[in-house]
A and B are shown apart, each in its own frame.
Chain A
Amino acid sequence: MSGHAEITAQYIRGAQGDWEVVVGMEVHAQVLSKAKLFSGASTAFGGEPNTQVSFVDAAMPGMLPVINRFCVEQAIRTGLGLKARINRTSVFDRKNYFYPDLPAGYQISQYKHPIVGEGEVLLDLPKRTVRVGIERLHLEQDAGKSLHDQHPDHSHVDLNRAGVALMEIVSKPDMRSSEEAAAFVKKLRAIVRYLGTCDGNMDEGSLRADVNVSVRRPGAPLGTRCEVKNVNSMRFIAQAVEYEARRQIEILEGGGIIHLETRLFDSKSGRTRAMRSKEEAHDYRYFPDPDLLPLVIDEAWIAEIADGLPELPDDKKARFIRDYGISAYDAGVITAERELAVYYEELAQGIDPKAAANWLNNEVLGRLNRDGLAISDCPVSARDNNAILRMMDGGTISGKIAKDVLDIVWTEGGDPERVVQARGLLQVTDTGAIEQAIEAVIASNPDKVAALKTKPNLLGWFVGQVMKQTGGKANPQAVNALLQKRIGIAEKG
C-alpha cells in the first residue's frame, strides 16, 4: 500500500458499489544463458524435440546438478537492477510434485532463502509514477513441454526446456489496475533487457507472467486471490486483470465467495477458466536439495557485477529530462527500450532535443507501430532522421516535406539529402515564385477573395492552396506574410 499513498482512487463500479482490484505478479524471466541452470545442455529456442536434453535434465538415475555460474551472475545483476538486496547465502530447495514434463518429480527452486530479497520498480504512467515493491527474486528450473494436441489419447513430452534457468520475480500486491499490471511487466521487461539478463521475448515464452488478482471494497482487507497462469503479452495481462476482477466482483455481489485457485487465461476469448488438473491441494514438500550446497556469494563478486551495470531506464530517464529538457512523459517513452534510447541520443545529436523527441515519438514510432516493427528493425537510421531534422531546421525543407522525405526513405531507402535534391523538394523562399502562386489562387477564386472580408479565418485556406500550388515546397511563413500583404492590397483596390 505504501506505494499508493499518492494515488487517486481508481475503483471499478460494480452493481452494488465500488470495488478495488489488487494485483500482484510472478514473472518468470528466462536467463539469457547458453547452457541450462544445472547442466551443459543448450537453451536455444526451437530445437528438434528432445535434442537439447542432458541426462541430468531427463533425471536419469544417478545424475546430479551442477550450477551454471553465469546464471547466478545474471540473477545478481537483475537483483541489483531492481535495487534489491542480494542475499550472501541462499539455498536451493526441491519442490516436489508429479507432472510428465517434470522429469525428476521435483523442481529445483529456492523457497525460504532466495538469492535476491526486497527491491522496487517504478512504473511510468502518463500522469503519475507508481512504486511497486519486489518481494524477491529466485533462481529455478523450467519444466519441459507437454503437447496435448498431437494425438487424441496421448500427450507428447519434449524436455528441451527442462532445466532452463528462470528468474522468478515476485512483486508485492501493489498494483491497483490492469493498466498498472501491464506497466509493471513492461517496466520489468525493460530492466532485464537493459541488463541483458533476459531477452524479454514474450512470444517465445522467455518472459511469462502469472497474475494474482483479488478484489475488495475500498479500505477493506485483501480479498482471496486467484492466480491466472501464463499470460503472455501486455495486452493479455490487462485483459486478464479486467476479466478476473469483473468475474470476482460478480461472484461476490451475487453472495458467493472466491476460492484460492489457479486459473488459465484463454487469449482467444479473453477469459480465464479454472485448471482441471490442479484441483488437488498442493503439498510441495519443500526441503533443501541434498545434491547441492548452500550458494554463498562474495561481497567482492557483487561489487564487481554492480560496477558493470549499464545505465538503467530510471536513471536514463532522469538524465534525458535534465540534459535534453524533454518532458517526463517523452523521456519515459523513449527510455522504455534501451535501443530506443540509444536511437534517440543519436537522432538528437546537434539539433533541438525536444524537436528530436517529438519527431521520434510522433513520426518514427507512429510508422513503426503502423508497420509492426521494433526500433531495431527501423528502416531509417537515427543518422538519416537527424539529417532530415537538420534540413527542416535550417529551412532547406518544410515540415511537410520533411515527413514526405521520411516516407520516401522509409519505403525506398536512400540518403535524405540526395532525395531532397533529386526530387526538387527544396523549400521555395523565392518571393517571386510564391507571389506567382498567390496570384494564380486569387485569380481562380474570386468568391473566396470576396468572402475574406467577412471571414478573416479564410486566410488559412489560402495558405493551404498556395502550398498546394507549390507542391508543399513553399516556406509557409513566407506564404503567410506575402498573402497578408497581397490581400491587404486587394482590399484597398
Chain B
Amino acid sequence: MPLPSAATEFTVADARQALRSGKISAVELARASLQAMAAARPLNAFVTETPEHALAMAAESDRRIAADEPRPLEGIPLAIKDLFCTKGVRTTAGSRILEDFIPPYESSVTQNLWDCGAVLLGKTNMDEFAMGSSNETSHFGPVVNPWRARDSNQNVVPGGSSGGSAAAVAARLCPAATGTDTGGSIRQPAAVSGIVGLKPTYGRCSRRGIVAFASSLDQAGPMTRSVRDAAILLNAMAGMDSRDSTCVDLPVPDHEKGIEQGVRGLRVGVPREYRIEGAPPEIDALWAKGAEWLRSQGAEIVDISLPHTRHALPVYYIVAPAEASSNLARYDGVRYGRRASGARDVMELYERSRAEGFGAEVRRRILIGTYVLSAGYYDANYVRAQKVRTLIARDFDEAFERCDVLLTPSTPGPAFALGAKSHDPVSMYLNDVFTVTVNLAGLPAISVPAGLTKTGLPLGLQVIGRAFEEPIVLRAAHAIEQAADFAARPNRWWDAG
C-alpha cells in the first residue's frame, strides 16, 4: 500500500536531516503525523491527541531552524506514553482514577525532550498504571497492534504496557515515542510490534514526573524504528536530575556516536536458561540466527549460565506489586483524581473511590502487594524475594566477567489475539519472562526487530549490557539491525476509508 505522506516514513535521523536542510518544515512534519493519527484512530493508540500543542511547538521549531539555532531534536514530533506527566495536558496512566487529571508540572524526561526542541503529538494509550503485557487493561480500551498475521483479519495485541507508543511508532503515526519499562513494558511491545525499544540502566533517566508503578524497577526509554533513533532520543532523555534521588549523577555520553563501530572482538553471551520449554521453535531459530549474525561480524559467542533466571518472574511478582500497592495509595480521591460520590465517611470514600477508579488487574496487584508486605508474610515473601533478586543481579555480574553483552530472545512468542490471555494472569505474566531479569538487576537492554514468524508477525532479539554501557548495547543492536535488514511493515488495514 502506498503511504499518503512520505514524511511519516521518516526516522528521527531522517527527519532531523530533512528539517535542517529545509526539505520539510516542522509544522508540515507535525501535520503529517496528526493526519496519520486521525486516520489511525481504530488502533486506539492515543488517549489524548494534542494538535494545538504540536503545531505551536512545531512553529517555534521552525523559527529556531530559520534562525539557524536548532536544538538536538528540533521539530521532531513525538508521542508520549500517558504515564509521563505533561503540564497542562491530561495525564491518565490509562486509569479511570486519573481520567481527568491535569498535572501542574512536567516530567523531567519530557521536559528534557522539549528543551531539545521535540514536539508533543499526544499521549499514548497504555495498560493501566503500566500493569499489563497486552494493553488490554487500559481504562480507555485496548490498543490494537497495526500488525496482523498474514491473510488474517484477527486483531492482535501490541504488547504492553507501552502498547500505544509501540503501535503509534509501528503504524508510522510518529517517528518515535517514549515508553517506560518495569518488567519489559518497552521491549516486549517493541518486539511484538516490529520496532526498537530501549530500556536504559536504572537511574540513567529521571523518574520524576512519571507516574510510579514499581519505583525500584521503573525506567523510561525510547521506542523508535531504528537503533540510531533510540540513541538520539536517549541522548535527550537521559541525565542527572537533582529531584530524583535514584537518578545517577554520571555524564551522558553521545550514544549516537560509535553505533556503527561493529562488534569485532565483542564477547556475546548466550544464556542457556533463556531456552524455555514450550516456546515456539521460531524463537530459538531466530535467536541462533542472531548469534550467527554477530559471530559472522567478528563477535565471539560465549555460552553463559544465569542460574537464577527462572526465579525472576516470581520475584518480580512480589517486588513490583509490593511497591505498587504503596505507590498507588496516594490515589485516594482526596487531593486529585476520581472520587466516589455520596460517601458518608472517609473509609467509604477511600474504598469506593479506589474500587471504582482502579481496574481489575490493578486491584489484583494492589491486593497481592498488600498481602506480601503484611505482618507475618513480609519476611517470607518480600525479604526473600529481595534476596533472590540479589542472586539474580550476581548472576549478571558473573556473566559479565565472561562476556560484554548478552543476546536473548525478547519475548517467548509473537503478538497474540486480543483476549487470548486476559483471563489467566499467570500466563499473561509469562510474556515478560525474558525481559524482567534486566529490570531486577537494573541493567540496560534493547529489543531489535529481527524477523517474522511463519504467519508474518514480528519478533525481536534482546541485547543486555552492563550498567551504563548503553553505547555497547546500541553498537551490538545496530549490528543485528544491519544483518536482519528488517524491512517488513504492517499493512495499513485501519486506513481503509
Q: Does A353 sit at the interface, judged by CB under 8 A?
A: no
Complex Cα distance A58/B208, Å?
Answer: 14
Instruction: Contacts A67-B245, A98-B350 given; indicate if A60 touches B332 (C-beta within 8 A).
Output: no
Q: Does B382 sit at the interface, judged by CB under 8 A?
A: yes
Question: B329 to A96, Cβ gap below 8 A?
Answer: yes
Query: How far apart are B126's CB and chain A's nearest CB, in angstroms?
Result: 14
Query: How far apart are A260's CB and chain B's nearest CB, in angstroms?
Result: 15
Choose one: B98, B245, B326, B336; the contact of A64 (CB below 8 Å): B245
Choose one: A61, A96, A285; the contact of B212 (CB below 8 Å): A61
Question: B207 to A94, Cβ gap below 8 A?
Answer: no
Choose one: A58, A64, A290; the contact of B243 (CB below 8 Å): A64
- Chain B interface helix/strand/loop/mixed: loop
Question: B242 to A61, Cβ gap below 8 A?
Answer: no
Question: A62 to B335, Cβ gap below 8 A?
Answer: no
- For B105, list chain A residues within 8 Å (CB): 55, 60, 63
Which chain A residue shows the least CB distance to B209?
Answer: A62
Complex Cα distance A104/B328, Å?
Answer: 8
Question: B212 to A66, Cβ gap below 8 A?
Answer: no
Complex Cα distance A309/B346, Å?
Answer: 46
Question: B336 to A60, Cβ gap below 8 A?
Answer: yes
Q: Does A293 sit at the interface, judged by CB under 8 A?
A: yes
- For A60, list chain B residues within 8 Å (CB): 85, 103-105, 335-336
Choose one: A66, A94, A100, A287; the contact of B245 (CB below 8 Å): A66
Question: B245 to A61, Cβ gap below 8 A?
Answer: no
Interface flags for B81-122 (1: CB within 8 Å of A; 0: not) read 000110000010100001001011101000000000000000
- For A103, list chain B residues within 8 Å (CB): 330, 334-335
Which chain A residue shows the least CB distance to B242?
Answer: A66
Which chain A residue shows the least CB distance to B371?
Answer: A285
Between A55, A63, A64, the greatest number of chain B beta carbons within 10 A of the residue's beta carbon is seen for A64
Instruction: Contacts A67-B245, A291-B245 given; indicate if A96 touches B373 (C-beta within 8 A).
Output: yes
Instruction: Contacts A285-B370, A287-B382 given; indicate if A64 touches B207 (C-beta within 8 A).
Output: yes
Q: Does A359 sit at the interface, judged by CB under 8 A?
A: no
Q: Does A270 sit at the interface, judged by CB under 8 A?
A: no
Which chain A residue shows the least CB distance to B383?
Answer: A287
- For B207, list chain A residues within 8 Å (CB): 62, 64
Question: A104 to B208, Cβ gap below 8 A?
Answer: no
Interface flags for A218-262 (1: CB within 8 Å of B; 0: not) read 000000000000000000000000000000000000000000000
Which chain B residue shows the least CB distance to A96?
Answer: B326
Q: How many residues of A contact B (CB 8 A)?
A: 29
Which chain B residue shows the least CB distance to A293?
Answer: B245
Between A55, A61, A98, A104, the greatest number of chain B beta carbons within 10 A of the residue's beta carbon is seen for A61
- For A155, list chain B residues within 8 Å (CB): 346
- For B223, list chain A residues within 8 Å (CB): none
- For B246, list chain A residues within 8 Å (CB): 64, 290-293
Q: Does B6 sit at the interface, judged by CB under 8 A?
A: no
Q: Does A205 sit at the interface, judged by CB under 8 A?
A: no
Those of B306-325 within 8 Å (CB) of chain A? 322-323, 325
Those of A311-338 within 8 Å (CB) of chain B? none
Complex Cα distance A286/B322, Å?
Answer: 11
Question: A94 to B326, Cβ gap below 8 A?
Answer: yes
Query: How far apart are A108's CB and chain B's nearest CB, in angstroms?
Result: 11
Q: Does B26 sit at the interface, judged by CB under 8 A?
A: no
Between B207, B243, B370, the greatest number of chain A beta carbons within 10 A of the residue's beta carbon is seen for B243
A-B contact pairs, 14 of them (CB 8 A): A55-B104, A61-B98, A61-B336, A94-B326, A96-B326, A103-B334, A105-B326, A283-B375, A285-B325, A285-B378, A286-B378, A287-B322, A287-B382, A290-B216
Instruction: Please list the residues of chain A having a beta carbon within 8 angstroms of any beta carbon in chain B.
Output: 55, 58-67, 94, 96, 98, 100, 103-106, 155, 157, 283, 285-287, 290-293
Additional 19 contacts, C-beta under 8 A, given A66-B243, A292-B246:
A55-B105, A61-B85, A62-B84, A62-B207, A62-B211, A63-B209, A64-B246, A65-B245, A66-B244, A66-B245, A96-B373, A98-B332, A100-B346, A103-B334, A104-B330, A290-B214, A290-B216, A291-B245, A292-B245
Instruction: Please list the residues of chain B having a beta carbon within 8 angstroms of any beta carbon in chain A.
Output: 84-85, 91, 93, 98, 101, 103-105, 107, 207-212, 214-216, 242-246, 322-323, 325-326, 328-330, 332, 334-336, 346, 350, 370, 373-375, 378, 382
